[in-house]
Amino acid sequence: MESTREKQEVTLLEVLNRVINKGVVVSGDLVISIANVDLIYVGLRLVLASVESLGEGYWR
C-alpha cells in the first residue's frame, strides 16, 4: 500500500504538470513561462514535508 505522503506527492505532481505544462496558453498581457518543470518535480519532493494544509478532499 502507498502511504498518504506518497499519494499526495503523486497528486501534487499531477496538478503541477497540468497547471504549468498543460493549461491553455492565451496571449495575455504578461507572458510567463516556467522553463524546467522536471527540476520543479525533483525539488518538490524535498519541500513536500513543509507544505501542509493543501485542503482535504482535494487529493485523489
Residues forming contacts to another protein in the complex (CB under 8 A) are 6, 9-16, 18-20, 22-30, 32, 34, 38, 40-48, 50-51, 54-55, 58, 60
CB of 4 to another protein, least distance (A): 15
Question: Grid coordinates in use for 25?
Answer: 496558453
15 by Cβ neighbours in 10 Å (0-12 / 13-18 / 19+) ranks as: middle
φ/ψ of 18, rounded to 5, equals -70, -50
The minimum distance between CB 28 and another protein, in angstroms, equals 5
At its nearest, how many Å lie between another protein and the CB of residue 2?
9
